[in-house]
Amino acid sequence: MVDATSAALDGYGHLVDDPSRCSIEIVRWPALGTRPVDADTGDQGGTTQGVFSSEWRGDILYGRNEAVDGHYILAYAQPPESARTDHAEPPGRMLLWHANYHPDGGQLFFPLDRQPFYVPLALPGDDVTPQRFICFRFDGRQGLYIHPNIWHEGVFGLRGTQRFFDRQGAVHARVSVDFAREFGCLLEAPIFVTAIRSARGTSARLVGIGEMMPSLTEDQAKAYIISS
């Protein structure tokens, strides 16, 4: 885990001070043969925007993206088979099961509540592995813009409900990776709510299925449907 700075985010995207001045990259529709797509076509889908909500209910972090009418399970604080929603204890960690990227355009997340948050990211490539992910830690004073094709999984609030302004490509193409099914692990990052602004050197690790979750059923991970 690393603090989100301009240098650390190089290649992934950049910090955003003013969301109204952040433009969204739109990728031209790819040519299927030897003839190119006409220069004035293929990138006119525009953008969509809305509020992205990150809400902890007990041990489960739910996400809702109004821009694309998406509803997700983003992460767990406990193994999915023992996760509960009937308590209000703050999470001590997040267990990430899934990530995706958008080949059609970039994406902006800007914190409306100005609270610290996490965003796991990996550089482009369909040969992605869990080890390539870095969890970036934001203090809540700036937002994040990510380039097209950057692996991510929305934004992770650290407790309660946090809201973010979201703007992204309207086509909303999505390519996914399922860590539990493809690699037999979840990605884990600790949450330090009170020390988020000053913590340094926190490491993220992989959690093996046999270690943390002997089984992962369809019902236990309903977010296999979609991501941000």
- Average pLDDT over the chain reads 87
Summarize the confidence of residues 89-114 as an average pLDDT.
Answer: 96
Question: In terms of DSSP bridges, do strands 2-3 and 134-138 run parallel, antiparallel, or are they unpaired?
Answer: parallel
Say which DSSP state 114 is in: -
Summarize the confidence of residues 132-138 as an average pLDDT.
Answer: 96
Model confidence at 91, pLDDT cuts 50, 70, 90, reads: very high
SS3 73: strand
Summarize the confidence of residues 52-66 as an average pLDDT.
Answer: 97
pLDDT digits (tens, 9 = 90+) for 169-188: 999 999 999 999 999 999 99
Q: CB within 8 A of 180, min separation 6: which ones? A: 97, 186, 209, 213, 216, 221
Q: 1 is written with which tokens?
A: 């885990």
Task: Using the predicted structure, report yes or no on whether residue 70 has a pLDDT greater than 90.
Answer: yes
Task: Using the predicted structure, report yes or no on whether residue 201 has a pLDDT greater than 90.
Answer: no
